[in-house]
Amino acid sequence: MTRLVLLDANLLIGALDREEGNAAHEASRSTFEALVADPDVKIAISPLIRYEVLRGMDEADVEEVNAILNDMKEFEVRGREAIRAAEVFRKARQTNVKLNKRQFDVFHCVCAEINELEILSKDGDIETIQKLMKA
């Protein structure tokens, strides 16, 4: 059975931006390469993740990275995701959990939830958001 894994932008940037000597990027690259090599894994992104990755590239060729992203399963962010993300953000505010409204992490988690995807990230907020979503 195919395992669909949504990769957050921070992990993809680390994997695809060829900054030498960056231990965090090397760890992300190792994770990414293991996923790509696994025939039972299909990597997923959303348009928001594509945007974050392309804007975050420092050392990589943007066209080359975009071609790599084109090979991934891309899930749309629609009204259903926006409504669920707003619910999660309001729950965070009501329970005094601090989330940055200018980041897309809530959308990424909601996209993974709605599309039944596993999510991998190097972002500490993801676990907090997932706990909010289950509460």
pLDDT tens track of the chain, all 135 residues? 899 999 999 999 999 987 778 888 899 999 999 999 999 999 999 999 999 999 998 888 999 999 999 999 999 999 999 999 999 999 999 999 998 877 899 999 999 999 999 999 988 889 999 999 998
pLDDT of amino acid 27: 92
Confirm if 25 and 19 have CB atoms less than 8 A apart: yes
Confirm if 36 and 3 have CB atoms less than 8 A apart: no
pLDDT of amino acid 50: 97
Confirm if 56 and 9 have CB atoms less than 8 A apart: yes
- End-to-end CA gap in the chain: 29
In eight-state DSSP terms, residue 103 is S
pLDDT of amino acid 18: 75
Confirm if 43 and 7 have CB atoms less than 8 A apart: yes
Residue with tokens 């760890």: 27
CB burial class (10 A; 0-12, 13-18, 19+) of residue 19? middle
Domain extents in the chain: 3-134
- What are the two backbone dihedrals, phi and then psi, of residue 6, each rounded to the nearest 5 degrees? -80, 120
Domain 3-134 CATH superfamily: 5'-nuclease (3.40.50.1010)
Strand partners for 113: none
How remote is the C-alpha of 1 from its chain's centroid? Answer: 22
